[in-house]
């Protein structure tokens, strides 16, 4: 590991060795302009087999950030991270301004077909927005889609 972990991890984490069967996984690097909760979900999914190894979770997580975000680790007080839960909370707090705002079905009411827009482009734009809404009600979506069409 790098000197990053020596600055912030508790001695127990720093001294822990990875399991013999562990091989480094490929992770999407976190960039500070993305949703930190989404990054944590991706990381935890990739590390599912090791989720009970708190020390490993911390040490490997430090490798998933890059550039200025990696410099953030240097600002953490020495020995301030003693668990993955603590690391997760500190990480989310630091990058919370980039948290994705969940949209609801009523967001679709803002979508209307522009006069010069083709029907195909309107459908594509509507579907793109609908997909971003978790648990979108199809009946509402259908009704809103129709209301977004101009009356001839």
Q: Is the pLDDT of residue 3 over 50?
A: no
The structural domains of the chain, with segments of one domain joined by +, span 3-98, 105-147
Could you report the per-residue pLDDT of 104-138, keeping only the tens digit for each?
777 788 889 998 999 999 999 988 888 777 777 88
User: What phi-psi label fits residue 135: left (phi over 0), alpha (psi between -120 and 50 degrees) or beta?
Assistant: left
Global pTM reads 0.61
Instruction: Check residue 98 and give its pLDDT.
Output: 60
Could you report the per-residue pLDDT of 60-115, keeping only the tens digit for each?
998 898 777 778 877 888 889 999 999 999 998 888 766 555 667 777 888 899 98
3-state DSSP helix/strand/coil % of the chain, to nearest 5: 60, 5, 40
């Amino acid at each position: 590991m790098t000197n990053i972990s020596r600055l912030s991890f508790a001695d127990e984490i720093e001294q822990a060795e990875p399991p013999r069967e562990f091989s480094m996984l490929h992770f999407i690097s976190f960039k500070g302009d993305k949703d930190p909760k989404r990054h944590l979900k991706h990381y935890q999914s990739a590390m599912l087999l090791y989720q009970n190894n708190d020390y490993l979770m911390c040490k490997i997580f430090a490798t998933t950030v890059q550039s200025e975000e990696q410099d953030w680790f240097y600002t953490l007080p020495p020995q301030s991270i003693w668990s993955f839960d603590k690391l997760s909370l500190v990480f989310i707090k630091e990058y919370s301004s980039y948290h994705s705002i969940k949209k609801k079905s009523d967001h679709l009411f803002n979508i209307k077909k522009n006069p010069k827009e083709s029907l195909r482009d309107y459908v594509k734009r509507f579907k793109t927005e609908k997909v971003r809404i978790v648990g979108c009600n199809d009946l509402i979506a259908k009704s809103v889609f129709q209301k977004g069409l101009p009356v001839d």
